[in-house]
Amino acid sequence: MNFLFRAKLKASKFFRAFFGKKHSRIGIYGPPNAGKTTLANRIVRDWTGDAVGPVSEVPHETRRARRKEDITITGTNGNSVVIDIVDTPGVTTKIDYHEFLEYGLEKDEAVRRAREATEGVAEAMHWLRGDLDGVIYMLDSTQDPFMQVNIMMIGIVESRKLPVVIVANKIDLPDAAPQRIRSAFPQHPVVQISGMEGKNVESLYETMTQIFG
């Protein structure tokens, strides 16, 4: 257990014990392979030392929502929030088993995965209909943010009047363009990070305490 983790864990326990911060259930949403589970693992490991689930380059690795409870996040200004993280399956308007064949899966496995991924999208939407207090919407900053699914999902979140933080992920990649995401959704806070490398995640934590606290 390194010094930084011990310090974060100590601070989390202190604020939780003495200040009784709001407890919020936060869903991590976004298209497949945007880095949702990578971020969920990053958050949970940074503040509890645990993890949420496996990641893979194959789309729809997460096909069922995974939940991790009672995570206390503390910002540099001393603000804190206690959250349950819900890592949801990737949301898309189309799931085709042929996509999985390109990653070397056998047809039966690809068909099964496509069916489970479709069920996972339905489960993600179920969570959004009434079981969440806020949303982190993950976007791959190397991709076009104006995809139909992104416009649709942000619209649904807004209609639910849920607070949202948009994360421009994968800024470590050479063709990342997080400014496109800021331009696409100027009405919401956008934080650019590398979930894989941990770059700028402290700014995300700060924003989370402000928006979800």
Q: In order of start, what are the domains of the chain with their CATH numbers?
A: 3-91+131-212 (3.40.50.300)
Q: Which of 2-16, 51-65, 73-87, 94-108 has the highest mean pLDDT?
A: 73-87
What is the identity of the amino acid at 184? A
Does the pLDDT of residue 149 top 50, yes or no? yes
Q: What's the distance, CA 193 to chain centroid?
A: 12
pLDDT value, residue 77: 77
Percent of the chain predicted with pLDDT > 90: 55
Measured distance CA(113)–CA(101) in Å, rounded:
11
3-state DSSP assignment of residue 127: helix
Closest of 7, 127, 18, 166 to residue 82, by C-alpha: 18
pLDDT value, residue 9: 46
Q: At which residue do the structure tokens 């709001």 appear?
A: 22
Categorize the per-residue pLDDT at 196 as very low, low, confident or very high, splitting at 50, 70 and 90.
very high
Does the pLDDT of residue 71 top 70, yes or no? yes
Closest of 173, 177, 164 to residue 196, by C-alpha: 173
Measured distance CA(126)–CA(122) in Å, rounded:
6
- Each residue of 93-148: pLDDT tens digit? 777 777 778 777 888 887 887 888 778 777 878 888 878 999 999 999 999 999 99
Which phi and psi angles does 104 have, rounded to 5°?
A: 90, 10
Residue 189 CB contacts under 8 Å (≥ 6 apart), including other chains = 165, 166, 207, 211
Measured distance CA(16)–CA(82) in Å, rounded:
8
pLDDT value, residue 124: 79
pLDDT value, residue 164: 98
- Better-predicted residue by pLDDT, 148 or 3: 148
Residue 11, classified by CB atoms within 10 Å of its CB into exposed (0-12), middle (13-18) or buried (19+), is middle
Does the pLDDT of residue 62 top 90, yes or no? no
Sign, CA torsion 194/171/55/124? positive
Instruction: Decide if 190 contacts 182 (C-beta within 8 A).
Output: yes
pLDDT value, residue 160: 93
Question: Mean per-residue pLDDT for 177-189?
Answer: 97
pLDDT value, residue 5: 45
Question: Mean per-residue pLDDT for 37-53?
Answer: 89
Categorize the per-residue pLDDT at 17 as very low, low, confident or very high, splitting at 50, 70 and 90.
very low
